[in-house]
Amino acid sequence: MANDLNQVMLIGRLTRDPELKQVGSGTSLCRFSIANNRNYTQNGERKEEVSFFNCVAWGKQAEIITRYCSKGKQVAIEGRLKQNTWEDKDGKKQSTVDVVVNQLQMLGPSSEGGGSGGGSFGGSESSSYQDPGPSREQYPDMMEEDDVPF
């Protein structure tokens, strides 16, 4: 069996306010995107490259992100990549890649980037919440750590 790895760590700023939806049996789903800047020098000239990443969070974490994060807020994200594929109305295969958020940490002062401050986060300048993730009851085919044969 291959030793594959799918882990992403990003720091960036939200490009829009998070969007919260209820799916399935009332599970919360939050979608947002972040901009990530990369600075480099080419031929003695300083350049900047900006990349945009679509992110998705589930459950309680989705609700917290929607409540406390808004456009412009700087966040650190740890997660994994997930590719979604489908056929459009013309029958062409389409795909996107999302960052599925396992952990999000808000960075910078609580007054920066909006939200209603960090009241329930103890008023610190950085706060984090780690989502326990979906449960086997929600997704019976999901593999647990104990199921991995190595």
pLDDT tens for 86-122 read 999 999 999 999 999 999 999 987 655 444 443 332 2
pLDDT tens for 35-87 read 999 999 999 999 999 999 999 999 999 999 999 999 999 999 999 999 999 99
What residues does each domain of the chain span?
A: 8-39+48-137
Indicate the SS3 state at residue 44.
coil
pLDDT greater than 80 at residue 138: no
The whole-angstrom distance between residue 108's C-alpha and the CA centroid of its chain comes to: 18
Question: With respect to CATH, is domain 8-39+48-137 assigned 2.60.40.790?
Answer: no
pLDDT greater than 60 at residue 11: yes
What DSSP string describes 68-81?
Answer: H--TT-EEEEEEEE
Q: Is 99 exposed, middle or buried (0-12, 13-18, 19+ CB in 10 A)?
A: buried
pLDDT greater than 50 at residue 142: no
DSSP state of 67: H
How far apart, in whole angstroms, are the C-alpha atoms of residue 7 and residue 82? Answer: 10
